[in-house]
Structure 1
């Protein structure tokens, strides 16, 4: 084995007569210790990544539970709001008795009411039998309640009268 070469610092110190400085020799390192130290250093980031994954999975589970809970509450509030709007519309609409009274005042004398129905969505359906539908249509357009109605059909009866079917627009 060859002797280690002297450094530039050692050469200068020897020429100038200064005290030489010797490099301390390093102790022999056990290979198992070096491997364990390397593994420990590499394990830090791996454990950090794994811990972050676990935390993210927990946060996603919590967020999904909150989302489901919020959706249930949103659906319930939507149903409640829809029911409140339907109730408000039902209260604001004239009752069937008021509607019948207005029909009786508006239609010509020869016209007869065949049917009146209010459907679940609030649509009003009226069937009126008359000998001439034109004066009936003119009379119904004068009242604001019936002016918004549109004629959806008509048919002839056995006695020669015409049944006009009208419905409110939704």
Structure 2
């Protein structure tokens, strides 16, 4: 999925339009740094909670997959998640109490598999669109105009933000 020889290049990727390629390049780098930050974590470390209000690293990893899955539905299918999909992804999307209660006991491979499965689908979907698709606009948060480029920027921007939380949590392991 990632060409490690070009991880520090925002460049063209065969099979994708120029702007989609650049977006994927940025997503790949964000994922690369997430993988480095979580390498070799144990189940106990993935489940660790700093306090009663915090998220675990495992829940944040599943959150990355859930957000990306939700944006696939929104931008490629023009829909919200179904009740069935929310039963699977809801706790990871909202985190909080549901995430703390339901997302635990999984090893790192479980989370990586979820993230990889969703990302593989994203990469296949990106092959079906061109740069003009990124400009498609629709109302978003609080009915503000946005385009698909911003939405997909937000997918990896959210991962980068929460990766900072992961690094903080790791420093607080007891």
If each structure's strand is expressed as a fraction of its own residues, which one has the higher value?
Answer: 1
Q: Which structure has the larger Rg over C-alpha atoms?
A: 1
If each structure's helix is expressed as a fraction of its own residues, which one has the higher value?
Answer: 2
- Which band: TM-score by shorter chain? under 0.3
